[in-house]
Structure 1
Amino acid sequence: MNIIGRLTRDAEVHTTPQDKKVVNFSVAINDSYRNKQGERIEQTSYFDCSYWISPNVAKILIKGALVELTGRVSTRAWTANNGELRSSLNFHTATIKLHGGSKKIEHAQAIVKQENTNIMMQEPIDDLPF
């Protein structure tokens, strides 16, 4: 499954009790549609994401960056401390493509390229000539 959205916060690297590193970040996906009355309805979905392949990717996953992710979705349900039922969508990321970005993101990309990481990055695609 592919999703495209913007990061809602900078990525964080966490270490599991088994000494494995995981990159955690959150992505917002905006969608809109028209209801029966013709009104445009905006809807935002949030995904908690995890990436286990390389912790170096956290350097370029900066709040506001537009990313395309490939992976699989799972759901998680729990009961909050106040007894309220909660749930979230989790995206287990296999590949990450960064689309464009600000000067801060471009600077982070340059650093990562210098470190010769194996992170997939893609520049924005121009319109096709047809």
Structure 2
Amino acid sequence: MNKVILIGRLTRDPDVKNTTSGKTVATFTLAVDRRFKNKDGQKEADFVPIVVWGKQAEIVQQYLSKGSQIGISGRLQVRSYDDNDGKRRYVTEVIAEEVNFIGGKKDSGSQRQVAEGPPLGLDDDFHLMADDDDIPF
């Protein structure tokens, strides 16, 4: 079984591109807080690369930005490639199958939450699921 569930905040705006076959893909990094503090009493986070395909990628581009809090579920993928020097490089990333908008974006000037999310009429917990047609394999 290969299932990953994460809740965190985007560290930057999503990077959205189209493949040569016309599929939309969004990538971003999700900062996920650890449950406990380090020896200095500071909270630490893991920074996880996320990939979202198809219609979900378009919605992610439209409604999410740096600081947005989301929950995702998907699968872990490890791939490799040869760099320009011929060295084998490995990339570990989460391929998101579901994206949930669970919080607002923190206002950089204060700690208050700024309303953000899908169009009016949709819940704050707006939920996206990948269609089989959106996944390129």
Matched, 1:12 2:15: yes
DSSP-derived class of the 2:125 partner: coil
Matched, 1:106 2:112: no
The higher radius of gyration belongs to: 1
* Structure 2 equivalent of residue 51 of structure 1: 52
Deviating 4+ runs (over 6 angstroms)? 82-85
Structure 2's unaligned 5+ residue stretches are 108-113, 127-137
1:98: Cα distance to partner?
A: 1.2
TM-score w.r.t. structure 2 length? 0.63
1:91: Cα distance to partner?
A: 0.9
CA distance in 2, matches of 1:48, 1:76: 13
* C-alpha contact 1:4 1:67 (8 A) present in aligned 2: yes
1:57: Cα distance to partner?
A: 2.5
Q: Which amino acid aligns with 2:48?
A: F
TM-score w.r.t. structure 1 length? 0.66
CA distance in 1, matches of 2:88, 2:42: 26
CA distance in 1, matches of 2:28, 2:16: 9
Is the alpha carbon distance of 1:113 and 1:34 closer, same or farther for their aligned partners in structure 2, counting shifts above 3 Å? closer
1:42: Cα distance to partner?
A: 4.1
Structure 1's unaligned 5+ residue stretches are 124-130
1:80: Cα distance to partner?
A: 5.9
From 25, 31, 42, the counterpart of 1:28: 31
CA distance in 2, matches of 1:32, 1:103: 20
CA distance in 2, matches of 1:41, 1:15: 39
Q: Paired residues, what number? A: 115
CA distance in 2, matches of 1:103, 1:46: 18
* Structure 2 equivalent of residue 73 of structure 1: 76
Matched, 1:61 2:55: no
